[in-house]
Amino acid sequence: MKAVSIQEAEGQLGKLIAEAYQGETIVLTDGDKRVTLSPPELNLDEDSPELEAELLKAADGPFTPYSSQELREECEKIIRKKRG
């Protein structure tokens, strides 16, 4: 978790939102007031565009024993199977 005052956040809001999207919890503070930016939660039981995007991004990742093309094909098979 990262706490940042409103004054500190000015000018770096885009960066803070990107950090939250990557998993960091950001708390914006203004005196006693607090607002939390949290990463979006994916519901793995639902077919969602966000989950599909994450699977396809993983296919391009460097940490896999499969080629990028092999992993992409497997991800696409899973998506097609889930859709029926």
pLDDT number for residue 25: 86
Q: What are the extents of the domains in the chain? A: 2-37, 49-83
Closest CA to 8 of 24, 27, 21: 27
| Sequential DSSP letters for the chain | -EEEEHHHHTT-HHHHHHHHHTT--EEEEETTEEEEE-PPPP-TTS--HHHHHHHHHHHT-S--SS-HHHHHHHHHHHHHHHH-
pLDDT number for residue 43: 64
Give mean pLDDT, residues 63-84. Answer: 79
The answer, yes or no, to whether residue 64 has pLDDT greater than 60, is no
The answer, yes or no, to whether residue 14 has pLDDT greater than 80, is yes
Give mean pLDDT, residues 44-65. Answer: 70
The domain defined by 2-37 carries CATH number 1.25.40.80: no
**pTM of the prediction?**
0.45
